[in-house]
Amino acid sequence: MKLRIDKGSLRLRLNRPDVDQFRKTGVCTESLRFGSGAQLTYTLETSSRLKGIEAEYSPEGIRVLLPPEMAREWAASDQVSLSLNRADDGGPSLLIEKDFQCLHRNPDGRNDDSGAFPNPLARP
């Protein structure tokens, strides 16, 4: 799972193994470790107390939460993304999306997207 933070928004991109894990367990977690022993943990998880998408921040990390039914429908379908624009209430806008294979490869082979979803724009 990839995390992108840009101005007032958070974006999570999940590849196929991430989506499979999320569908089976209701949780997908990644951590970025720092040399000082600290780490930033970011998690996508389901919560039955919710009616919509929500984000929480704490010293333990960032949690993006989805209602279980919304999560099941997204993970089991061809639906690419879920989003929430929260500019009006001061919270971050959220985008959760399935990660597609890159259309352009770096010659050095750094684009390991073997777990990504097939890109619908790729030519057969």
Q: What is the pLDDT of residues 67-120, one digit of tens each?
A: 999 999 999 999 999 999 876 777 899 999 998 766 566 655 555 666 666 666
Domain carrying residue 26: 2-98
Q: In whole angstroms, what is the distance from residue 35 CA to residue 31 CA?
A: 13
| Torsion 30-94-86-52 (CA) sign | negative
Q: What is the CATH number of the domain that holds 56?
A: 3.30.1360
pTM for this structure?
Answer: 0.79
Would 51 be classed as within a structural domain? yes
SS3 content of the chain, % helix, strand, coil (to 5): 15, 40, 45
- Residue 17: pLDDT band (50, 70, 90) is very high
Would 76 be classed as within a structural domain? yes
Q: Which helix (H) or strand (E) holds 21?
A: helix 16-25
Q: Do 98 and 81 meet the contact criterion of CB atoms below 8 Å apart?
A: yes
Would 22 be classed as within a structural domain? yes
pLDDT value, residue 70 = 96
For the chain, how many structural domains are there in total? Answer: 1
Looking at residues 32-37, what average pLDDT do you find? 90
Would 121 be classed as within a structural domain? no
Would 94 be classed as within a structural domain? yes
For the chain, the average pLDDT equals 87
pLDDT-above-90 percentage for the chain? 67
pLDDT value, residue 30 = 97
